[in-house]
Amino acid sequence: MIPAAKPEIGHHERKAVDRVMRSGMLAQGPEVAAFEKEFSAHVAGRESIALNSGTSALHMAFLAAGIGPGDEVIVPSFSFAATANSVALTGATPVFVDIEIDHFNADPAAIEAAITPRTKAIMPVHLYGHPADLRAISAIAEKHNLLLFEDAAQAHLASVDGVPVGAWGIAASFSFYPTKNMTSGEGGMVTTPSAEIARAIRVLRNQGMERRYENEVVGFNTRMTDIHAAIGRVQLTKLPAWTAKRQQNAAFLSENIRGVVVPPVAEGAQHVFHQYTIRVVDHDRDAFAAELTKRGVGSGVYYPTPIHRLPSFAQTLDLPTTELVATQVLSLPVYPSLTKRELTAIVEAVNTVAKAGA
Mean pLDDT for 347-351 is 98
Q: Is the separation of the CB atoms in 329 and 302 below 8 Å?
A: yes
Q: Name the pTM for this structure.
A: 0.96
Q: Is the pLDDT assigned to residue 209 strictly greater than 90? A: yes
Shared-domain flag, residues 219 and 162: yes
pLDDT surpassing 70 at residue 31: yes
Gyration radius from the chain CA atoms: 20
Q: pLDDT (tens digit, 9 = 90+) per residue, 113-135?
A: 999 999 999 999 999 999 999 99
Asked whether residue 344 is domain-assigned, the answer is yes
Residue 243, domain CATH = 3.90.1150.10
Average pLDDT of span 33-59: 98
Same domain for 40 and 145?
Answer: yes
Averaged pLDDT of the chain = 97
pLDDT of residue 245: 98
**Does the CA dihedral 194-184-80-223 come out positive or negative?**
negative
Within-domain flag for 45:
yes
End-to-end Cα spacing for the chain: 20
Position 350 confidence tier, pLDDT thresholds 50, 70, 90: very high
Residue 25: pLDDT band (50, 70, 90) is confident
pLDDT on residue 211: 87
My answer on whether 323 and 188 are in the same domain is no
- For 183, list phi and psi in degrees, rounded to 5: -135, 155
Say whether both 97 and 191 belong to one domain: yes
Q: Is there a single domain that holds both residue 22 and residue 134?
A: yes
Residue 263: CB atoms within 10 A of its CB come to 24
Over the stretch 273-303, which tens digit does the pLDDT of each residue have? 999 999 999 999 999 999 999 999 999 999 9
pLDDT of residue 7 exceeding 60: yes
**What is the Cα–Cα distance from 111 to 74, expressed in whole angstroms?**
7
324 belongs to a structural domain = yes
Residues 230 and 173 in one domain: yes
The torsion angles phi and psi of 122, rounded to 5 degrees, stand at -125, 135
- 254 in the same domain as 192: no
**65 and 103 both lie in a single domain:** yes
CA dist 184 and 110 (Å) reads 35
- Cα–Cα distances (Å) from 349 to 137, 192, 257, 343, in that order, read 38, 43, 9, 10
Is residue 66 a part of any domain in this protein?
Answer: yes
Do 327 and 297 reside in the same domain of the chain? yes
Shared domain for 206 and 280, answered yes or no, is: no
Summarised one tens digit per residue, pLDDT across range 138-193 is 999 999 999 999 999 999 999 999 999 999 999 999 999 999 999 999 999 999 99
Domain boundary among 192, 211, 234: 234
* Last residue in a domain, options 199, 234, 269: 234
Asked which of 205, 234, 263 is the last residue of a domain, the reply is 234
Per-residue pLDDT band at 358 (split at 50, 70, 90): very low
Q: Say if CB 229 and CB 31 are below 8 A apart.
A: yes
Residues 224 and 247 in one domain: no
Q: Is the pLDDT score of 92 beyond 90?
A: yes
Q: In terms of residue numbers, what domain contains 46? A: 11-234
Residue 258 domain-assigned (yes or no): yes
Q: 39 and 120: one domain?
A: yes
The span from the CA of 318 to the CA of 14, in Å, is: 49
Q: Answer whether residue 326 shows pLDDT above 70.
A: yes
Q: How many residues belong to the chain?
A: 358
> Per the structure, how many domains does the chain have?
2
Whether residue 195 has pLDDT greater than 90: yes
Q: Residue 3 falls within a domain, yes or no? A: no
